[in-house]
Amino acid sequence: MSQINEEKIELTRRFIRDLSAVQDIHYDALVRELNLTEKAKGFLFDYVFNHDYPFTTTFKSHLELYNYNGPIYESETAK
């Protein structure tokens, strides 16, 4: 493998790892800000990182897809 290709691979690897770190920072901040229940956190993670459904465009519709009607927030003031 050429040196140029090795460098491209390494640059791409570092870039993707940096993006992952930024994504984690933003996701963690969102979770703290929203004050979600543990169950809702699981749904949020699935929606943010695994959501692929063309027919659920919002977090609310994602919850509805799974027929989840339980509590979302830890406290009423977090709504």
pLDDT at 1: 83
Residues making up the chain, counted from first to last: 79
Q: Is there a single domain that holds both residue 77 and residue 47?
A: yes
pTM: 0.76
Six-digit token pair at 19?
A: 């993006």
Alpha-carbon distance of 47 to 52, in angstroms, equals: 8
Q: Is there a single domain that holds both residue 23 and residue 40?
A: no
Q: Which domain holds residue 52?
A: 36-79
Q: Is there a single domain that holds both residue 43 and residue 73?
A: yes
- Half-sphere CA count of 19, side-chain side, radius 13 A: 6
pLDDT < 50 positions in the chain: none
Q: Is there a single domain that holds both residue 52 and residue 29?
A: no
Give me the helices (H) in the chain, please. 3-34, 38-45, 59-65
Q: Is there a single domain that holds both residue 30 and residue 42?
A: no
pLDDT at 51: 82
- Per residue in 63-79, pLDDT (tens digit) is 998 999 999 998 766 55
